[in-house]
Amino acid sequence: MDRTERFYKIELLLRSRGCISFADLIDALSVSPATLKRDLAYLRDRMDAPIVYDSLSNGYRFGSDAGNAKAGPRHELPGLWFSENEIHALLTMHQLLAGLDDDGVLARHLQPMVDKLQGMLGSDASEARELMRRVKVIGTARRRVPSRHFELLGSALLQRRRVALRYFKRSDRSESEREVSPQRLVNYRATWYLDAWCHASDGLRRFALDAIREARPLETKARNVAVRDLEAELDAGYGIYGGAGAKVKWATLVFAADAALWVANEEWHPQQKSRWLDGTTGAGRYELQVPYSDPTELMMDILRHGDSVTVSGDKVLAAAVAKRLRSATAQYAE
């Protein structure tokens, strides 16, 4: 444990316990009495920490002066300061992030920070580890991504450099060579995608990272696309392939009462519109309107609700959903 980490731990112990003995500080920090004395003196003399010795409690605390039992004005070490609750929140956030992390790429770089945060908790480090074990992210149908591609693309994105890709297109089972300018990494339904300007097709495209066969960084400076243009081009429709310049239409879905209470709390699209039918909020049928261009993912989400949802107004979409239902029914009947 370095000296800076000890300083934060001393401050945290004083704030969390109010008053702590010299012996308890030594046990928590695992240092010699001489080292602890130097640390306390440095915090008082160089960092202006109002640390005082309370003879009645036989311990150290924060205060205006040795004769004042009230705590002095709030003191913080320079740089980042985290309270105990904030440290717990950061550790929990790390655990949530680990649920999106393929091959531990992100966790590997964040682990030194996590170790320091746990060290700052002092005697509560075991509590932090227990908290992290009790936060779990469950992903379904997860497609794992080779870490070398994630790391390489993330680095190119931050450095604003182009990347040469060999990409496998699932629709026709073909491979192509692409030169792209990375713009954004997207995690959608437990799978990572790269939004990039494709210089071969001269437009924005979205690439599934697990379909990238090879990736090679280039020295050429990447073309920059404004975030608002990315969102307008790639996020306007429904699902991960809902944009890319396609014409956007609106689907109107009406959910029966048994499904309405669930769907009313779901976000299908950031621009969705909704209302309760039958004149009662929280009861009866629920109408949801969502934009889409490619109906593939939208139909999948509609079908999971079975006969609890109907498509209103869009005859083409309604016919496509009905065809899928008939096909599925026929397969199960065989």
List pLDDT tens digits, range 122-137: 555 566 667 667 777 6
Look up the CATH number of domain 147-226: 2.30.30
Long-range CB contacts (within 8 A, 24+) of 260-269: 260/284, 260/285, 260/286, 263/288, 263/305, 268/238, 268/301, 269/238
| pLDDT the model gives residue 329 | 72
pTM for the model:
0.63
- State the Cα–Cα distance between residues 283 and 275, nearest whole angstrom: 11
| pLDDT the model gives residue 290 | 94
- So where are the chain's domains? 3-62, 84-133, 147-226, 249-333
The answer to whether 88 and 128 are in contact (CB under 8 A) is: yes
Average pLDDT per block of 10 residues along the chain, 334 residues long:
79 88 92 92 84 92 58 55 66 69 65 68 61 68 68 90 94 92 89 92 92 94 94 85 73 93 91 87 88 90 92 92 82 63
CATH architecture of 3-62: Orthogonal Bundle (1.10)
| pLDDT the model gives residue 77 | 61
- State the Cα–Cα distance between residues 328 and 163, nearest whole angstrom: 42
The answer to whether 2 and 112 are in contact (CB under 8 A) is: no
Q: Using CB atoms within 10 Å of the CB of residue 308, give its burial: 0 to 12 exposed, 13 to 18 middle, 19+ buried.
A: middle
- State the Cα–Cα distance between residues 294 and 248, nearest whole angstrom: 8
Q: Using CB atoms within 10 Å of the CB of residue 179, give its burial: 0 to 12 exposed, 13 to 18 middle, 19+ buried.
A: middle
The answer to whether 49 and 75 are in contact (CB under 8 A) is: yes
| pLDDT the model gives residue 332 | 64
Residue 20 DSSP symbol: B
Count of CA atoms in the C-beta half-sphere (13 A) of 323: 8
